Structure 1
């Protein structure tokens, strides 16, 4: 039994001890019965909001919120866990990606292909836990008070057939559907721009406390910084990227053409 299945089993036991059916528990938490079932079976990682509702309904004094936090921390590299926590709390996320698509907008198969390519010697369980944790991060865009994501993706990330043509086509189609969410804005920086205004990917988080944090990936792990000069530099770079990128509508059109012509 892995950590995710253990959490689900503990939730099921706590629910049953209070003589609550999945249907009644679904009504009490405000989540669908299908969602309740998937969490209890260890199929998906519960969102932060669901864990909070579980503790409230079951009277478990934050236990499931703490279990979820430990699960996420174990499922992420130590250098990424602090960022994942802040990302879940952010009000706004500005994300620029060069060679891969934003983690918040990846499909399971695309994410799995990335992890398998980058960690070929890891076990299937190791891979699956990281895929599930990456999918769980999407909850920040789907909660009742979602973060606002503005993602700028270099066109170079849209062409490689990560996971194969079918996986990549499904991933691009998902990108298009994601833009229908009120909390998501997406632009593509086309090849024709030439040298991009920023040569390294980064994410800028605006937190409810007023703090601004920038995160960058390196070959040695991620780096977080609240240094005002670095934050301002990334914000200026993002403004330049926005100005050079295609409009959201043009970006959707390009993604659809690539999905059809390159990965069709």
Structure 2
């Protein structure tokens, strides 16, 4: 980051890095000292301060800064606002719940679920859905989407169950190379102990239930939430009747989808086609 760059021209990560550096210098700490206090290397701190750490500094680092600087939750809040700023305002309430969920059940009919998209796949989606956005704006959206994976990096990640209609895998997003990368990532993801992945094949005919994508979030101590989305916004429902109906729908989808091993076989075959 150029020290002469006007503040108004800095992107959110550069502004975060600038603020870390200013407070660090005010506290008379070196990058190495801050890194040690926060549990990271000197090089990590340097990249944060330069605004070059992608997709963005970790939440643990922000908390470490607050502890080292005695700033309460200042940097933790700054990081959270970066996340929220890169998402549509109507999506933020869902995003906050997704971070707290113990189980995430997704069903998608046309595109791979956002939380398991690769960077190249997400970039291709955003370019189509945001044709007037700048290249930097697209990259900010991609980084924000990839940051959603951080919920799986803790000691007790949520259990993720993904059901993808076969159309999600056959609809070419970006290019064959992009699809190959996405399918390879799904294969890797499915091997994780906290992930189950199934494909609803075309051969199953009309889906057993809803033809619309939806997500169910379950929590240890809070009501289950159903999330649905259109291009103009998302909606969350937690009424017992609505949520129970959605869970019944999800059970039917699981029953009619391919078993996990057969789903992986189909994904592997499609991957070979994209790589040909």
Same fold (TM over 0.5): yes
Equivalent residue for 1:89, pick from 77, 100, 103: 100
Shift of 1:169: 0.4
Aligned to 1:235: 247
8 A Cα contact 1:49 1:143, kept in partner = no
Where structure 1 has 5 or more consecutive residues not aligned to the other structure, the ranges are none
Q: 1:235, 1:49 → 2: CA distance?
A: 34
After the TM superposition, which of the residue ranges 158-167 and 31-40 deviates more from structure 2? 31-40
Q: Partners of 2:47 and 2:264 in 1: how far apart?
A: 32
Is 2:20 the counterpart of 1:11?
yes
Residues 139 and 190 of structure 1, relative CA distance in 2, 3 Å threshold: same
Give TM-score scaled by structure 1 length.
0.91
Query: Which of 1 and 2 has greater Rg?
Result: 2
For the Cα contact (< 8 Å) 2:101–2:217, is it kept in 1? yes
1:105-184 to structure 2, matched below 5 A, reads 105-184=116-195
CA displacement at 1:176 relative to structure 2: 0.8
Aligned residue pairs, count: 263
Per the TM alignment, residue 95 of structure 1 is displaced from its structure 2 partner at its CA by 0.7
Give per-residue Cα distances to partners, 1:77-129, cap 9 Å, x unaligned.
11101101111111111111111111111111110100101111122222121
TM-score normalised to structure 2 length: 0.87
Q: 1:21 aligns with which of 20, 23, 31?
A: 31
What RMSD, in angstroms, separates the aligned Cα atoms of the two structures?
2.1
Indicate conservation of the 8 Å contact 2:177/2:274, yes or no: no
2:268 to 243, 248, 256: 256
- Using the alignment, how far apart are the partners of 2:92 and 2:199 within structure 1? 28
- Gap regions ≥5 residues in structure 2: 1-9
Whole-angstrom distance in 1 between the partners of 2:81 and 2:35? 24
8 Å contact from structure 1 (residues 113, 163) kept in 2 = yes
